[in-house]
Structure 1
Amino acid sequence: MPRGARYLRPAPGPAAPEATPDEPSLWDAPAPAPAPAPAAGPRGGFTAELLALRAQGRSGEAHAMLCEAAAWPAPALPALAAELGRAGLAADWATLLWEAASLPPDRLAAAAAALGAAGREADCDGLLRQGVARPAAEVAEAAVALGAAGRDREAQALLGAFVRLRTAEEAAGLARRDPHWFAPRLLRAAGALSAARHRDLAHALRVAGIPVA
């Protein structure tokens, strides 16, 4: 006869009591209610917190918040601009734009595109004017990114600010990245400023070996 624990039959025990209708079973228990969705809000009450910091004179912490917000995803910026304006914090929005002007070229382009698409051209152009203080190679990268995204107005605004604030030689150096794309746009921007600026840029382009139509 086989021996071992797996061959033993369990001794009969008392029968399990039958469930009565008054005793709810596990299957009859109602399903737990779903967890409530997190409350929606503009970045967790950013503006309210900023107002509180300003009221308490904690300007350093307020500035740190603005620096952090400058790096938010670009689509969030137009709504934040409107909210800060309604709260009387236009100066803080200007500070945020100043910080955003130092973003990497692709993110600068994304921020400008988002503001332009939302109809905030003045904010967009102000951001781009501040952004041309960076190295020419980074300005070129941002302009190309704007052009690739179909934001021709913003790309032209960036190049216009560059021509206005930098030398003709620097503009010619920027055009070397892609002469066929940059040269006509830079010349158009220079012509919108003055005939003298257009003439100086055309000369600088020829010296750099870039043909001018």
Structure 2
Amino acid sequence: PPGPYERTCQVASYFKQAKPRSKVLVLDANPDVMSKGPLFKRAWEDLYKGIVEYRPGQKAVGIDPGGMAVKLEFDSVRGDVLNVVPPHRAGDIAVKAGLITHNNRWCDVDWRTLESKAVKGVHVLGDSTLSASAMPKSGHMANQHAKVCADAVVALLNGREPNPNPVMNNTCYSFVSDKEVIHVASVHQWDAGQGTLLPVKGAGGVSSARSELEGQYGWSWAQNIWPTC
């Protein structure tokens, strides 16, 4: 997900204005920026040169709170403020309910209803799910999960079959400064042959460049989706 990289931009934007001698050091366990990589890297180069330092392949194996240090596999790095993102998995409630199906982390579901494949009658939404092919873990996608699930539950409670061909869309806006934004979008449709949601070829895409116009789109998106959450 792009969240950590967007957070990098927001902190760097503050430092640029208020603490220009401060620095954001990004220690990423991934081999590269995993979402909107070229766009984030261009923003760091153009807007925050000398403020943001990105280091890929840096896996944190521990934290020293007293020494304010991140322990890496072969080194440790100190900081005045540490913002540690732990490995993600479904929450403890999913573990205790027996919903975890893959890698001790995620819950597989029937994408037509979001019903758990492990526990009948329980529906799982959002980041806890085992993502369908190329499906991002985002707030917009979780909102889509909720709408498909709610429609399916109402149908089931009334003795009807749920929608046999659900479609979900995703849009993820990332602020790289106080005004400029980049986005990625996709559409995912049920494929009966494979029994899952698949990305629709040619639908969606990624920003060609950051812009203030996309910033306006991003705020409009937020103001429209917040009331439905």
TM-score by length of 1: 0.20
- If asked which structure has higher relative contact order (CA below 8 Å, sep 6+), I would say 2
The structure that is strand-richer by fraction is: 2
Given the two structures, how large is their TM-score scaled by the length of structure 2?
Answer: 0.19
- Largest Rg, 1 or 2: 1
